[in-house]
Structure 1
Amino acid sequence: MSALHAGDPASFAADVLDEGPAELEHVPGVASHRPTKTCAGGALIRDSAGRVLFVVPNYKAVLDIPGGMTEDDESPKAATLREIHEELGLTVPLGRLLVVDWTPRNGVWRDCHQFVFDGGVVDGATARDPELEGVLYLTLAEAEPSIYPSLHRRLTLALSALESGSTRYAEFGREV
C-alpha cells in the first residue's frame, strides 16, 4: 500500500503521470498565502454485539476512534489503515466512506476535514501503541460522557450512514 494512496499504487502512479507536469505558480508566492487545512481519517469498528471500538489515548483526556491525522501526501483512507495497524496491530479491509465532517479551529488545532470509514466488525481488539492506555467497546450512550460532543454527533451519523447506505456530510458533527 502506498503512503500516497490506499488503493492500487500502480494505477495511482499512472494517474499522477497522466496529470502532467507539476503546476507552477502563475503569480509567484500566491500558493504560500493559502490556508493550511488538516485532515484526519478514522474507522467505525464494532464488535459482534454492535458496540463501537474506542481507543484510550494517554495524550488527551477523551476517548477517540482508531485513526489519526494524515501525513504529507497521504490520503485519509491510507492514514486510517496506517493508524489502525499502528494502534491496534490490525490489518482490516476498510469499507465505504460513512461521514465527511468539517471541524472548526479549536485552540492550537487548525480546522480539519474528518473522514470516517466503515471498519467492520472486530472482536477482542487490543492496544498495541504506547500512545494508548487501552481500548473499550461501548455503546454511544455509554461513551457520551467520555467523548467530545462533536465526535458523538459524527458517530451517530456514521451509524446512520451504515444502516442507510448513504454517506453523510457534516459540519462539526451536524449534517448539513
Structure 2
Amino acid sequence: MSAQHAGDPAAFAADVLEEGPAEVEYEPGIAARRPGKTSAGGALIRDSTGRVLFVVPTYKPVLDIPGGMTDENESPKAATIREIREELGLDVELGPLLVVDWTPRNGVWRDCHQFVFDGGIVDDASPHDDELEAVVYLSLDEARPRIYPSLHRRLTLALKALDAGTTFYAEFGREV
C-alpha cells in the first residue's frame, strides 16, 4: 500500500476502484515479455552535525543508506518507510523526493530505479535488524572508500537537491 494511503486503506481501495477494471491484453503474452525492472527507496538521514547515516549490512561488503528494494505492489516511499522501521526501529516522516536515479544491471541484479527521500535529522540511530552489523555517521568524503562510486554521486546530488529545494534525475548517479 502506498505511503500516502498507509493510514487510510479505504482511500486506497477507493482509488483502485476508481481506476476501473483491470486492463486486458489485446496481444496475449505482451506483458509477460516486458523486462522486469526493480525499484528501491532510500533515505538521506543526517545527524545534527550534517553527517550522513549509513547502515553496515551483513550481506554485502559496502555501506548503504537506510532503505531497500520495493516489494511487489509497494511504492518506493512506502518501502523506504518500511525498511527504516525494520532496520532502525524508527518511524520517520519522509520529506521530499531528492533524487531519482537509474542504475544499470550489475551482476545478478537487474537495472533499477532508485529513489532517495529526505529522511531528516536523526541523532544516535542504532540497528534493530539482524541484517545490520552497525550504523555509522560519516561525511561523504569519509564514506567514499566504503560505498559504491554511484552511491557517492547519488548522495552528492541528494545533498545538492536538499540545499536547492529541488529534485534531480540521474543515471548511474550522474545528473542528466
| TM bin (shorter chain) | over 0.9
2:37 matched to 1:37?
Answer: yes
TM-score scaled by structure 2?
A: 0.97
Could you tell me which residue of structure 2 aligns to residue 50 of structure 1? 50
Mapping for residues 1-176 of structure 1, pairs under 5 Å: 4-8=1-5, 9-176=9-176
Counterpart residue type for residue 63 of structure 2: L
Q: How far apart, CA to CA, are the structure 2 residues paired with 1:37 and 1:78?
A: 18
Q: How far apart, CA to CA, are the structure 2 residues paired with 1:89 and 1:155?
A: 23
Counterpart residue type for residue 174 of structure 2: R
Unaligned ranges ≥5, structure 2: none
3-state SS of paired residue (2:3): coil
Counterpart residue type for residue 6 of structure 1: A
3-state SS of paired residue (1:14): helix
3-state SS of paired residue (2:62): coil
Q: How far apart, CA to CA, are the structure 2 residues paired with 1:73 and 1:6?
A: 12
Q: How far apart, CA to CA, are the structure 1 residues paired with 2:166 and 2:96?
A: 10
- Give the fraction of aligned pairs with identical amino acids, expressed as a percent: 76
**Aligned-pair CA distance for 1:125:** 0.1
Q: How far apart, CA to CA, are the structure 2 residues paired with 1:133 and 1:7?
A: 31
Counterpart residue type for residue 84 of structure 1: I
Counterpart residue type for residue 28 of structure 1: P
Q: How far apart, CA to CA, are the structure 2 residues paired with 1:58 and 1:29?
A: 39
3-state SS of paired residue (1:22): coil
Q: Which runs of 4+ in 1 moved over 6 A?
A: none
Q: How far apart, CA to CA, are the structure 1 residues paired with 2:150 and 2:82?
A: 24
TM-score scaled by structure 1?
A: 0.97
3-state SS of paired residue (2:86): helix
3-state SS of paired residue (1:81): helix
Unaligned ranges ≥5, structure 1: none
